[in-house]
Every structure is written in C-alpha cells, then in structure tokens.
Amino acid sequence: MTTIRTAHHPLAFVTPGKALNIGLWTLQILAALAFVAAGSGKLLGTQDMIALFDAVGIGQWFRYVTGSLEVLGALLLVVSGTTAVGAVLLAVTMVGAIVAHLAVLQTSPAAPLVLFVLTALIAWGRRSQLVSLVAGHVRD
C-alpha cells in the first residue's frame, strides 16, 4: 500500500494510497445512498418510520432530527474534505440507533450495526482529515 505524507506536523497521518482511496470512495457513495434513503423516509414521514418513532417514545420531533442528521451526514460523506466529519456524525447516530434497538425496541440492531461498521471504517480511512482539523486548532 502506498502512502503519502499530508504535512510536516507531529500529529500528521498519511493519506490513503490510490487503491484504498478508490475503495473508500466506493464505501462513501454506498453509505451516502443508504443514509439518504433512510433519512428521507424519516423526513417524509413514511408509516414505518412514524410507527418506529412512536415505539421509541421520545416524539416525532426526534424522527426529524434523526432524518436530518442522516441526510446531512450523507452529504458530508461525498463532499471532499468533510468525509471524516460526516462519517463520525453518522457513526455516533448509529450508536444511538443500536442502543434504541436493543434497549427500547428490543429488535435486532443488524442494520444500524452494519452502518456503524461502514461509517467507522470510512472515518478510520479518512482520519487524516480529522487530524488536520484538530491540528489546526492545536497551538504548538
């Protein structure tokens, strides 16, 4: 695997090589499509999503928040330079979904678990973006 140094900063990581970059873009697009579909269903108020959020018991406003986060995260996944932030946002959202499925709904968390793993892989692969973001706010 070929890597390239991103900066001469002590916190700098290496950026992914060409093959890994292509793989990450493929995962990003697939994840973005999945989250646009899921988020749109929540925002449009499909009967399944209304029933699901009724069962959660927090209120339908939470369906709008969750759907908005999913669509925003999907957009960030495909905008160059914001991918890692979008992946982290979506991974955290999926942790909440996993907890909701296990603790409240008592249903299988398979779908949010798969999406969590996918977004965590993307965040790891694009971690140099996160390091650059943090390093930009750290004083030497």
Q: In the block, which residue shows the tokens 């927090």?
A: 58
Residue 33's pLDDT is what?
98
- Distance between first and last Cα of the chain: 31
- What integer pLDDT is reported at residue 14 of this predicted model? 64
93 confidence band (pLDDT: 50, 70, 90): very high
User: Which pLDDT tens digit goes with each residue over 36-90?
Assistant: 999 999 999 999 999 999 999 999 999 999 999 999 999 999 999 999 999 999 9
pLDDT of residue 97: 97
Q: Collapse the DSSP code of 5 into the 3-class scheme (helix H, G, I; strand E, B; otherwise coil) and give the result.
A: strand
Residue showing tokens 């890994």? 20
Every domain of the chain and the residues it spans: 18-128
- Does the pLDDT at position 2 exceed 60? no
Retrieve residue 136's tokens.
């930009």
Q: What is the chain's mean pLDDT, rounded?
A: 90
Give the per-residue pLDDT at 41. 97
Give burial (CB, 10 Å; 0-12/13-18/19+) of 35: buried
**H-run or E-run covering 48:** helix 47-56
